[in-house]
Amino acid sequence: MKTLHHSLRIAALLLTSSFAWAQLGSANTDAASNATTTSEQTVPAKGKQKVVIVTGVRFAYPLVQKWIDDYNQVNPDIQIIIESRGTADPAKYDILIEAYEKEEAATREHIYLGRYAVLPVANSKSEFAKTYSEKGLNKNLIKQLFFNDIFADKEKEQEIKAPYTIYTRLQKAGAPVIFTKYYGFEQKDIKGKAIAGSDEHLLKAVLRDSTAVSYLPLSLIYNQSSKSPIDGLTVLPVDLNGNGKVNDEEKFYDNLATVLQRLEEKSAKDLNNIPTDYIYFSVDKATASAEAVNFLKWVVQNGQKDLHDFGYLLPEADRKTVEKFEQFIAKRPN
């Protein structure tokens, strides 16, 4: 009899426990349902802000960030982020900032924004800077300084008494590519110490070594506020007219505005010993998002006014950036 009562008590306890668990489960289900409803109500609000990822040439980041900030003033629902490139796959990014033509050019639409110039520079503390900021560099001396030229006539080389150390980029990039191409060489032909990282890392290396000589994009050479060369850096004047020597009229590098004016007075083919090329955005022709294209359209229409302030030359008239971009937009499916 005791056994029967004991069994009944256990059964009652189990029944009560099951009912309690059922009630708790129901409460949890209702809570989860409410949470789901709340989540579904808030996600779209967050999801309205579209994201466009931009990467590429680092020396152009300050200019591009200015465009992003201005664009967000009139388009706050679009989030545009500059991201340091972590992969070589262009498909991982919405927009690439590029500084020289690459093999995949046929699959991408290029929007040419402005031109950058590359100038020879030296550490201001060096004897080399003091000597050649006065003498200047002609084409033969530039080739002698920077390149391993197996065909050079050693007997015709100039005597250089001032100590110097050439610095260059390790990775393939816009500035070294156009600098070497202009003088008929490849990046692998540059002498000296190769610095890993970006053009900014090359600049830091030059400022650390009192014998350093290198080349840099115009936008990195000048302080954006003062428009003078950054402290510790001397621009080495070059033979701009191609007559084999540097005269006083070719020494105009103390102020960025003057440099831009003098360089824009001539076409690129008439600029001797100053390599130039385009900085441009590129997007995939087939997969570019509407948000990325709208940002590019805004830059084409509004961005040119910022070029000089950040050390870039205007595009040449024959580039027809606006017309070509409008043709690209017209071909896109609605």
pLDDT of residue 31: 37
Cα dihedral sign for 235, 240, 246, 247?
negative
DSSP designation for 317: G
- Digit-coded pLDDT (tens) for 270-285: 999 999 999 999 999 9
The answer for residues whose C-beta is within 8 angstroms of residue 42's C-beta and 6 or more apart is none
Q: Which pLDDT tens digit goes with each residue over 127-144?
A: 999 999 999 999 999 999
Q: Identify the residue with better confidence: 102 or 293.
A: 293
What's the predicted TM-score (pTM) here? 0.82
Higher pLDDT, 285 or 49: 285
Residue 245 confidence (pLDDT): 95
Region 321-325 average pLDDT: 80
Give CA–CA dist 74/17, Å, rounded: 61
- Which pLDDT score, from 0 to 100, does residue 3 have? 41
The pLDDT value given to residue 252: 97
* CA distances to 36, 214, 230, 306 from 224, in Å: 51, 20, 9, 12
Per CATH, domain 115-277 is 3.40.50.10260: no
180 contacts 168 by C-beta, under 8 angstroms: no
Contact 14, 6 (CB under 8 A): no
From residue 261, how far is each of 48, 216, 246 by CA, in Å?
44, 19, 19
Nearest CA-CA partner of 53 in 246, 283, 304, 329 = 283
Residue type, 98: E
3-state SS class at 235: strand
Which residue do the tokens 């997969």 mark? Answer: 287
Residues 205-224 have a mean pLDDT of 97
Q: Alpha-carbon distance 51 to 72, whole Å?
A: 12
**Which DSSP string do the residues of 4-65 spell out, in sequence order?**
HHHHHHHHHHHHHHHHHHHHHHHHHHHHHHHHHHHHHHHHHHHHTSEEEEEEE-GGGHHHHH
